[in-house]
Amino acid sequence: MSEHKQEQETTHFGYETVDKGEKAGRVADVFHSVAAKYDLMNDLMSGGIHRLWKRYTIELSGVRAGQKVLDIAGGTGDLTLKFSRLVGPEGQVVLADINDSMLKVGRDKLIDKGVAGNVQVSQADAQFLPFADNTFDCITIAFGLRNVTDKDLALRSMLRVLKPGGRLLVLEFSKPGNPLLEKAYDAYSFAFLPTMGRLITNDADSYRYLAESIRMHPDQNTLKDMMSDAGFAACEYHNMTGGIVALHKGIKP
């Protein structure tokens, strides 16, 4: 088997190289394991800053009343909750995630907060979105793209279901611009996160995967190029918290 073909059939799971068919199952195991305490861990790991990153994403989405929004890898529904208020009763928000444990937590949380009527829940793979062409005004994927096996395929799938003029927002961990910040961030990710994961969810491996998957994810400019290659126009990104997180935006021409 040629080296190129072998490269095509394998992918990264953190720092490990695994068969493409294996990654989805292993990512699913991670999220089945952390789903119940996902929100608590997010707050603890980021010191609550993830709320600010999501708030900025909502602002840049430009979502208005009556629009249709797809929240891919929506997990526990933080963005869906905000979008459901913005689109109002005339609009629609689809909370999609490949992982049923995360979706159950998200659906229950939304119902507990009284969100119903304009929200649908869908178990869907970002690479093969089960929606008609030109359906959504806006698609968001927050902290989900790095877990997708074939990111290019997922971006093309998102482009297909977006309406012309619709926008994609990718909120994802990225590469800090400052070398000192990068060192501090590395120390925090590889020493502190797995320890915290072990103490709170009794699962250090999942949080080690989180740190490793962030390092293996494309940096800001690579992801921007990937979005352009997939067919998005006016691609741009906004670094947040020194580049620890970046928000990429692209428009369907």
For binding to another protein (CB under 8 A), which residues are involved?
A: 49, 51-53, 55-56, 59-60, 62, 64, 238-242, 247
By DSSP bridging, strand 119-123 and strand 92-97 are parallel
Minimum distance of another protein from residue 135's CB (angstroms): 21
Which of 218, 242 has the CB closer to another protein? 242
CA 110, 153, 7: angle at the middle one, nearest 5?
Answer: 125
Alpha-carbon gap, residue 185 to 242, rounded angstroms? 11
Minimum distance of another protein from residue 49's CB (angstroms): 6
Which of 63, 105 has the CB closer to another protein? 63
Which of 53, 131 has the CB closer to another protein? 53
Which of 44, 60 has the CB closer to another protein? 60
Which of 18, 240 has the CB closer to another protein? 240
Beta bridge partners of 250: 168
Contact yes or no for 144/217 (Cβ under 8 A): no
Beta bridge partners of 240: 245
Beta bridge partners of 72: 96, 141
Minimum distance of another protein from residue 24's CB (angstroms): 32
Alpha-carbon gap, residue 158 to 245, rounded angstroms? 21
Minimum distance of another protein from residue 240's CB (angstroms): 5
Nearest to 250 by CA among 164, 149, 148, 128: 164
Minimum distance of another protein from residue 239's CB (angstroms): 7
